Chain A
Amino acid sequence: MAALATPVLAADPSPTITVGTQEIGLSAGYLLPQRLTKHHTTKQEGPALMPSWMMTLTDPVGDGWYRGQVSLGAEVVYIQFQKPVLTHGIGFTPKIKYTFVALDRLRPYVEFAGGPFWSDLTDKVPEESSQFDFVLTAGFGVSWFVTDQTALNAGYRFHHISNAGTSYPNIGLNSSLPFGGFSYYF
């Protein structure tokens, strides 16, 4: 009968996110206006809620500080515009994220998302003329893995809402969105 010993293995200091690892998350933030030109006059602002799902596409690639992995997913963004008038907006955006993994539990990332967005604000402001628009976001953040499967996130996004020229005017609404949230990996 075989007597099997268990070798001592070194403890893994960082969470292991491999191909196929999924992430569900919830982030919340506050939208602040960014009036980039003199044509932008609306001071839209309000809280935003963003549940998301992501799937890790690659094992860590590269060497050095930029070593990281790509994940793909989708996010629902809900914004309650409290100014200039109480209105609502909701969108669905596919999302791609590159997470830097060189710092073990502290993992900065950059992300990009875009998709359809509906709001009853955007036909009430001079920058936009239709309720059906698109939202594009680009941002960065940092995840702190409190456990191997749970991370706290904080970051910043730049939001752009416009209708892709489907109606005019179409100047667009630009916003800053600092946010915080958490993710669960499985």
Chain B
Amino acid sequence: MPLHFLRWTLLGLIGLATTTTVGCTRWIDVIPSSTSQQESVAWTIPKAERVSFVMDTFRVLQNGAPQNPSSEMERRILNTVQETRLFSTLVPLGGTGASLGEKVVTARITVEETIDPHSGTAAWKGFVIGASMFLLSPVLALDYDYAAQVSLELERWDGQVKRYETRSAGTVHYQVFGATPIMISELKGQVTEAWLTDLMDQLVRDTGFYLASSTPLPDSPSLTVTVTARKPLRSPASLSVLPVSASPVR
């Protein structure tokens, strides 16, 4: 075997070891929501003042396209709501609230996810990295963006509605040998944690609004509900709550 071949093989192996070691890094940047810098507040409320929380609507859109909401995300939202100890009982989507009493808060959540994997750039950089025999892998980082715009609408037993909004975004920067599906999960997890934290901060600031003694039940407990067909979505920005309205009967 010629000497120059051995030399090139050795150099190649050293280069490969270097690039696979240095090229394995990844890190995540999460942009906090605009309201998350505010000071958090804490309330002490009697247990009897707490009412039930019923998940009424949970919608997820990905780059504008409606998605099947995952039970994991719903569970995570409910767990976070439960951690606030603001509500006595949490009822998930499709659950029955028949035994909860008359004072309940119904929740409508819309999560608009925006995903940008920078596919064109990744493909081009991948070609360059491959053509360089992976030597450029430590210097050519790839990006994956994920953002979530969340609106939470809470309707009190007397029909009053409060709407909360938050947004968080993040980017995972990774080298080609550091890529793994777990990094996408980590990114989504951190972004989700950011908007959940901000949303709960906003919610807790309105604690007084959700106390059982904050307002009595309406004179007539009978409500009418008008259900209409869902209108086609024009754009993610035009999305709103489900077209369900409730008003007391006189």
Contacts and interface: CB of A to CB of B under 8 A. Distances in A.
B180 A9 contact: no
B179 A59 contact: no
Interface string A89-129: 00010111000000000000000000110100000000000
Given A7-B93, A72-B129, A19 B184 contact: yes
Contact of A2 (B69, B92, B94, B183): B92
Interface residues of A, number: 34
Interface residues of B, number: 47
B181 A21 contact: yes
Contact of B92 (A5, A19, A96, A116): A5
B123 A58 contact: yes
A84 interface: no
Nearest to B87: A2
A58 B90 CA distance: 39
Contacts of B127: 72, 96
A57 B89 contact: no
B134 A94 contact: yes
B133 A94 contact: yes
B21 interface: no
Nearest to A17: B181
B74 interface: yes
Given A7-B69, A7-B74, A96-B127, A19 B181 contact: yes
A22 B179 CA distance: 8
A59 B90 contact: no
* Chain B CB within 10 A, most for which of A57, A69, A131: A57
Contacts of B70: 9
A2 B130 contact: no
Contacts of A50: none
Nearest to A10: B68
Contacts of B78: 2, 4
Given A19-B181, A94-B131, A58 B122 contact: yes
Contacts of A152: none
A1 B85 CA distance: 10
Contacts of A19: 117, 122, 144, 179, 181, 184
Nearest to A115: B133
B206 to A, nearest CB: 20
B163 to A, nearest CB: 23
A165 to B, nearest CB: 16
Interface of A: 1-7, 9-10, 18-22, 55-59, 61, 69-72, 74, 92, 94-96, 115-116, 118, 131-132
Given A7-B93, A57-B126, 14 more contacts: A2-B79, A3-B92, A4-B71, A4-B92, A5-B93, A10-B68, A19-B179, A58-B122, A58-B123, A92-B12, A115-B133, A116-B8, A116-B12, A118-B5
